[in-house]
Structure 1
Amino acid sequence: MVRAGLTAERVTVAGAELADEVGFEQVTMSQVARRLGVKDASLYTHVRNLADLRGRIALLAADEKTIRIAEATVGLAGKDALVAFATAWREYAHRHPGRYTATQTPIDIDPELAAHAPGPRRAVELTYGMLRGYGLAEPDLTDAVRLLRSTFHGFVALEAMGGFAHQRAPQRSWVRTLDALHTLLEHWPPLEDGESA
């Protein structure tokens, strides 16, 4: 019998909490069932399989991360928006390492679930909106989005694995990185001759 109150949302949250503790790739259905105090079979009433659960965790995390970024950047523009955006991204990665990994891992997510999850779509809108404040238009917008994502993710991933062994504090490098990104965004190089939007 399914434990009273067990829902797909509760299973997903339990999986997300577990991901933060043991790592996203280490989450299993059995571990989630133990965490909830139910038999493994009880979970399958609410999620189809491990791949479905991982997709739900990724969507949950994308929603959470996007909400934090939106709250941090509301009413800001230019460098203030960039710094708030990046800081919210990094703080989420620090506080929720397993969930953060889920947002950066290619996962085959149920299209119907994805269609009702605002996080990924809102994240794109927030990023493009912030960059339009720098006067960028396509294809420069897409290039700048890829630059920011690569920089933010690269920094937090290296930081998480202890990749910054130099005595200089990573926070100081982070601040300088954002200074450099702001300068670059303000002085974005023009397209090569012959390349069109």
Structure 2
Amino acid sequence: MVQSAPGDAVPRAGLSTTAVVDVALAVIDEQGPEALTLAAVAGRTGVAPPSLYKHVAGLAELRMLVGARVMDEMTERFAAAAMGRSGDEAVAVLMRGYRDYVREHPARYAALPPDPLHNPAMVAAGTRLLQVFLATLRGYGLTDSAAIHATRCARSIAHGFASIEASGGFGLPEDLDETYEQLIAMFVASLPRPDAPQRA
């Protein structure tokens, strides 16, 4: 991986698809997803924009590669956080990790498409991320459609709260951590308990 200080050009000899994505993420982190252009990346890599076509097919592909990288980062982070945990604890750690990622990387999170599973270039990364949620929910006996519905609920809570927070949308003084913990508790309480006694 090519390392560079913000605004520095990456040496031409070090240019690769991975390095181009690294620089694209640096542009996004500093200036937002709207600032990502081939010209901006080329300026940092020390090449003319046409030279980037040796590594990416164009801006659209670069955005897809960025999205896949972000999802892989999230997958690795969430899986590591949930490892060795189960049940309510695993769900809570996963949802806290989601919020933490958005708080730490709001711009690159905003660069994600809303539905990567319908993009052939991103479906693999999106599926890996989805599998982390599905694995966490198996302990509740949730599979197939029921697991997808529960995953959508968890994602809606985490994405909605974190996105509003990142945009400065919570203006009242009440503690945001407390609010988010209440949301996690509400979601966990909605999950089935396979070992609960059945009513006659």
Please give the range of the TM-score, normalised by the shorter of the 2 chains: 0.7 to 0.9
One-letter identity of the residue aligned with 1:162: G
Q: What percentage of aligned pairs have identical amino acids? A: 34
Deviation per CA, 1:58-105: give whole Å up to 9, x if none.
Answer: 001111110000000001111110111112211111122222123344
Partner residue of 1:122 out of 123, 128, 141: 128
DSSP-derived class of the 2:111 partner: helix
Residue 171, structure 1, aligned to residue 177, structure 2: yes
One-letter identity of the residue aligned with 1:37: G
Contact 1:51 / 1:108 at 8 angstroms: preserved in 2?
Answer: no
Q: Counterpart in 2 of 1:56?
A: 65
DSSP-derived class of the 2:156 partner: helix
Measure, in 2, the Cα distance between the counterparts of 1:95 and 1:140: 31
Q: Counterpart in 2 of 1:192?
A: none
Contact 2:37 / 2:59 at 8 angstroms: preserved in 1?
Answer: yes
Partner residue of 2:138 out of 132, 141, 145: 132
Residue 81, structure 1, aligned to residue 90, structure 2: yes
Contact 1:58 / 1:103 at 8 angstroms: preserved in 2?
Answer: yes
Gaps of 5+ in 2: 1-10, 195-200
DSSP-derived class of the 1:166 partner: coil
Distance 1:180 1:187, change over 3 A: farther
Distance 1:77 1:110, change over 3 A: closer
Give the TM-score of the pair, scaled to structure 1. 0.85
DSSP-derived class of the 1:182 partner: helix
Residue 69, structure 1, aligned to residue 78, structure 2: yes
Gaps of 5+ in 1: 189-197
Contact 1:54 / 1:107 at 8 angstroms: preserved in 2?
Answer: no
Measure, in 1, the Cα distance between the counterparts of 2:117 and 2:83: 32
DSSP-derived class of the 1:163 partner: coil
Shift of 1:172: 1.1
Shift of 1:14: 0.7
Q: Counterpart in 2 of 1:191?
A: none
Contact 1:58 / 1:102 at 8 angstroms: preserved in 2?
Answer: yes
Contact 2:23 / 2:45 at 8 angstroms: preserved in 1?
Answer: yes
Residue 12, structure 1, aligned to residue 11, structure 2: no
Residue 40, structure 1, aligned to residue 46, structure 2: no
Q: Counterpart in 2 of 1:180?
A: 186
DSSP-derived class of the 1:147 partner: helix
Measure, in 1, the Cα distance between the counterparts of 2:163 and 2:143: 29
Shift of 1:145: 1.0
One-letter identity of the residue aligned with 2:86: A
Structure 1 range deviating more: 96-105 or 59-68: 96-105
One-letter identity of the residue aligned with 1:30: A
Shift of 1:106: 4.7
Greater relative contact order: 1 or 2 (C-alpha under 8 angstroms, separation 6 or more)?
1
Give the TM-score of the pair, scaled to structure 2. 0.83
Deviation per CA, 1:122-170: give whole Å up to 9, x if none.
Answer: 2111111111112223322111111111111100110011111111021
